[in-house]
Chains A and B, each alone.
Chain A
């Protein structure tokens, strides 16, 4: 600084007394950064969707659906469609989110190598937890479906791992464990300060991840048993799908390894880790995957409502 004007030393001393600034609270700084980034993500998505909506609003609904379908198919086939690409950053509250989920599932379906399938399934797990984090930071309650879908993909990955040979299975389960530990850590660190309504679903997701990790630990300790359990479960799944359950037949579940329900009811569901014994037969109408086909009925409470925009500091 060049002092091109003489300043009274007493005045300079008084101004100097304002210079020492108290150190910023790191937690407050982190929270503020998170809120700003959530705002930024939201603004970015809004601009992108506005661009698309401007185009699509000029079309009739039928024509729009047709164009969307063609774009999705082309996108899935060639991997270059702008719509599918645009959907990749969507959040559960946004219009192209179902396209994102579809494209993720198709990628898994198209993969022929089980290791690649496991990797893609675990990518989905990571995507869901990241979406939950962004929504929470924006003050929006993440839908229960995100957490249920996360659990389902973990189970699919574990089931696939047990179809591999011994060495590959151990390596795959170890990889899954590492990724789940990271997810669990992220969920634990996630502060729901700006969204108290988010806490139940976050806690349920943390519990679910914790339960899955515990199960993986026991599987790693005893791979043979876990493989047998998986085979038993696969057979039971075939039996359940092929033979309707006799309504008067007593059913005795052989395992107690349940994970908490993720519908906010605090109840447990019949969803069993694939490596942990015989599954409890379920009523086909309450298939937990129904929501993925656009049916949020059954045992899942489709809690997709948002609680408004995230809080901002200061005055509007």
Chain B
């Protein structure tokens, strides 16, 4: 097994063993991230495949991440997710209010709520959406998010504040 700090250096040389280890290390996390935001296993698989394909293409061209590989991969995956939703009509994502589940089957109701929250995340800017997803779904620290978004920690806090306010308005103000 190649030591973690050397993985990226080896991958930049297109070492297939290093690339295999990187895939094994990050693809489960990327899949989980994608399936949470996309809500569909097939599209999440597409997201993982496309993320690694773009990573490989970048390495082939001598580009790609110089450090913070995890941040780069999540950023690429998030871009895929945003692109995916751009091709869907906004109405199909945000067509209902947060449902009242008193008279509905719980599972179906949960699915609708999840769909609604995903739709609300898409109402945010790309950066705001990624901050919320990484912070509250993946449990990243602000410093890690700052590296992923290539921004100072202060900017991340500001993005988070605005994003939460906006989400609250979309998801909760209707309830009041």
Contacts and interface: CB of A to CB of B under 8 A. Distances in A.
Contacts, number: 122
Interface of B: 14-16, 19-20, 23-24, 27-28, 31-32, 35-37, 41, 45-50, 52-53, 56, 59-60, 80, 83, 98, 110, 113-114, 117-118, 132, 135-137, 139-142, 157, 160-161, 164, 167-168, 171-172, 175
Contacts of B45: 24, 28-29, 32, 313
A41 interface: yes
B167 A39 contact: no
Nearest to A6: B164
A43 B60 contact: yes
Contacts of A312: 49-50, 53
A46 B57 CA distance: 12
Nearest to A312: B53
Contact of A36 (B23, B47, B137, B139): B23
A51 to B, nearest CB: 11
Contacts of B37: 18
Given A15-B136, A314-B50, A33 B60 contact: no
Contacts of B35: 21-22, 24
18 contacts: A10-B172, A12-B136, A14-B113, A15-B117, A15-B137, A17-B117, A22-B35, A33-B23, A37-B20, A39-B52, A39-B56, A41-B16, A43-B56, A44-B15, A313-B50, A313-B53, A314-B50, A314-B53
Contacts of A11: 164, 167-168, 171-172
Contacts of B46: 313-315
Given A8-B172, A10-B175, A47-B14, 16 more contacts: A1-B136, A4-B157, A5-B164, A8-B168, A18-B36, A18-B137, A24-B28, A32-B45, A36-B19, A40-B14, A40-B20, A312-B49, A314-B46, A314-B80, A315-B46, A315-B80
